[in-house]
Structures are given as C-alpha cells and as structure tokens.
Amino acid sequence: MADECLFCGIVAGTVPAQKVREDDETLTFADTNPQAPFHVLVIPRKHIPDIGALGADPDAAAALLRAIRAVAQENGLTDYRTVFNTGAKVGQSVFHVHAHVLSGRPMSWPPG
C-alpha cells in the first residue's frame, strides 16, 4: 500500500466505495463521477502506478484482464469501452492503475 493513495485506501477499507466485484488480486467499484450508465474502475489490490508498470508485472496484468472479462460477463455487457489513462496530460488523476469500464450508451471515436 502506498501512503496517500486514494485507491489503496479503498483496498484497505479506509475509503468507502460501492464495490461491484472482488477477487484475490483485484477490486472493482463504481466511479463516483460516472461518464456512462455503467462506469466502474477495475484495480489491482497492490499499488501499481500505471499501465506501463502493470506491463512489467505479467501476473498482475493477467489478473486485471481476467477481472475486466468477469465484470463484463457478470453484468451482461456486450459492448463496452475500456480506458487506461496514463499521465496527467491525458487525464490520469489517480496514480494507482485502473481500467475504466464504460457501457450503456453510444460512444464516439476518436476520444476527446
């Protein structure tokens, strides 16, 4: 756990969250500022700052992908967008890697 990390606080239970799914390696919870009717964040329990660092940890990367797959299946999502923001210039605001999983409305491309 990293000090001062909001999402480590959610893993530790010191920060409240609307949990959607849990397993040994990951946690999924509702985004407090949803950008679609379905908008959750899927995170590793251990502190990993971004997708670059996640890519150096194949076990954690595989666990996160399995969790995204499970979230989609368990919630009947057929069409959904998965976003990893990496770096403040493209919108990363919490530096504990998280996959946004968004669904439930049409989405345009390219993203803004």
39 assigned to active site: no
| Residue 50 in contact with ligand 5GP, rule: CB under 6 A | no
Minimum distance from CB of 57 to Zn ion (Å)?
Answer: 14
Between 11 and 63, CB nearer to ligand 5GP: 11
Non-local (6+) Cβ contacts of 38 within 8 A are: 75, 77, 80, 101, 102, 103, 104
| Residue 82 in contact with ligand 5GP, rule: CB under 6 A | no
Binding mask 17-46 for ligand 5GP (x = CB under 6 A): x-----------xxxxx-------x-----
Distance CA 103, CA 12 (A): 27
Closest CA to 24 of 57, 63, 50, 79: 63
